Chain A
Amino acid sequence: MLPQRLIESLVGLFLLFAIFSLTVLAFQVSGLTSLFPDQTYTVTASFDDIGGLKVRAPVKIGGVQIGEVAQIGLDPVTFKAVVKMHIRNQYNDIPDDSSAGIFTSGLLGDNYIAITPMYNTTYLKNGSKIEMTHPAMVLEKLIGQFMYKIGNNGNNSSDNGEKNEKK
């Protein structure tokens, strides 16, 4: 049996090792920047189509994350998607005529909201609403548009051909 003091020191070391691991896990692995949840203010925006946007998706300006999506709902009157975002308090000088769009990170990545700042001198604050929004680009609609365009071009050229022949 080891002497009591040695045992206590070893247990203390064990504890330190574990706390050190916790610190490593917190900061190196999960990128925790502060232990306390950021202070944020809430901003709303309505979109025609949010595509694959999920709660906790990032909200970015110029690629830098300034907040996240908190809630997604449906307006029962206008049938538009209503998205609530939490924006960190430190970014409190976003002009209130800025526009919000839904983009995809990478080719096949998750959707996020990008805010493009405009020029007003009044800023977004808690409860503000972003008026200008761009919906997400849905793949099916894109393909549909593309095919419609091709179809049109084809028709135009065949019409021209017919007219020529009739003459």
Chain B
Amino acid sequence: MMDRVAVLGQWGIDTLRQFGKAGILFYRVLFYPPNFKKSCPLVIQQVYSEGVLSLLIIVVSSLFIGMVLALQGYHTLSKFGASQELGPLVALSVVRELGPVVTAILFAGRAGSAVTAEIGLMKATEQLSSMEMMAVDPLRRVISPRFWGGFISMPLLTLIFNATAIYGAYLVGVKWLGVDAGIFWSNMQSSVEFHADIVNGVLKSVVFGVAVTWIAVFQGYFSIPTSAGIASATTRSVVYASLAVLGLDFVLTAMMIGEW
């Protein structure tokens, strides 16, 4: 019996230490600022590999999500004779929730896992150690640019997701299902508020970006440098990041709704 309690306690302490390590890593990445001239190209490189290369999956997913939303929404709304509310339905769902959350989860799966695997592999092949022994701080050269790359890419991807999803909904709703274009857009415009909805959505995506990239970088940096270790670090990074996004989404939504 006492053994079980001891095991639980040990697990608790280990988890606490993980959080501590993550916090220290975060602090060092943020507050030991790299000198801009050297690190700008590195960050741009990372924005390319994390952001630009994720565009395909984001755009395709958002188009389909927008189209399905319009299809399902129209189907249900027309039962109440409320099909002119399709615009607001799609826009509010996407901009407030689906945009930030789905983008974050897709990003975690595509870019987050890539970052974790990359850093883990660099650790396993002793590239990080070589850098350290060459008096180059791997945190500044490898970890920090990847963190800022994710931080910058996420809100941009979310904006693109929002716009393409609504466009997809427009295609299905107006062009195919016959909702009047004028009503579609004007009802949407009167229900969606820039500051409350769109800006809040982007704010959410910034928070998600920090969370996903932080988890990805942490898992990679502290992974066990074997092939099994890297594999499990990569899956952990995706799972934890997705769960964190969903949890944070609830907290943020509660805070934002409370305001208004």
Contact = CB atoms under 8 A, between A and B. Distances in A.
A and B touch in the complex (CB under 8 A): yes
Interface of A: 4, 7-8, 10-11, 13-15, 17-22, 24-26, 28-32
Contacts of A15: 156
24 contacts: A4-B41, A7-B44, A7-B48, A8-B44, A10-B52, A11-B48, A11-B51, A13-B52, A14-B47, A14-B51, A14-B55, A14-B156, A15-B156, A18-B155, A18-B159, A21-B159, A21-B163, A25-B95, A25-B166, A29-B91, A29-B162, A29-B198, A30-B91, A31-B188
Q: For chain B, what secondary structure do more than half of its interface residues adopt (helix, strand, loop), or is it mixed?
A: helix
A125 B188 CA distance: 33
B97 interface: no
B163 A24 contact: yes
A8 B192 CA distance: 34
Interface string B171-208: 00000000000000110111011100110000000000
Contacts of B188: 29, 31
A29 B159 contact: no
Given A14-B48, A17-B55, 19 more contacts: A8-B44, A14-B47, A14-B51, A17-B156, A18-B155, A18-B157, A18-B159, A22-B159, A22-B163, A25-B159, A25-B162, A28-B189, A29-B95, A29-B166, A30-B194, A30-B197, A30-B198, A31-B186, A31-B188
A32 B163 contact: no
Contact of A32 (B160, B185, B194): B194
A38 to B, nearest CB: 13
Contacts of A7: 44-45, 48
Contacts of A13: 52
Nearest to B49: A7
A14 B194 CA distance: 22
Contacts of B185: 28
B163 A11 contact: no
Interface size range of chain B in the complex: 20 to 34
A25 B91 CA distance: 9
Contacts of A10: 48, 52
Q: Among A11, A24, A31, which residue has the most Cβ atoms of chain B within 10 A? A: A11
Contacts of A28: 185, 189
Interface of B: 41, 44-45, 47-48, 51-52, 55, 91, 95, 155-157, 159-160, 162-164, 166, 185-186, 188-190, 192-194, 197-198
A19 to B, nearest CB: 8
A57 B166 CA distance: 26
Q: Among B91, B156, B186, which residue has the most Cβ atoms of chain A within 10 A? A: B156
Contacts of B163: 20-22, 24-25
A8 to B, nearest CB: 6
Closest 10 CB pairs of A and B: A31-B189, A21-B163, A18-B156, A30-B192, A21-B159, A30-B194, A32-B194, A7-B48, A14-B52, A18-B159
Contacts of B95: 25, 29
Contacts of A30: 91, 189, 192-194, 197-198
B84 to A, nearest CB: 11
A31 B162 CA distance: 15
A48 B199 CA distance: 37
Contacts of B189: 28-31
Q: Among A15, A17, A26, A29, which residue has the most Cβ atoms of chain B within 10 A? A: A29
A97 to B, nearest CB: 31
B63 to A, nearest CB: 13
A25 B198 contact: yes
Contacts of B160: 17-18, 21
Contacts of B41: 4
A18 to B, nearest CB: 4
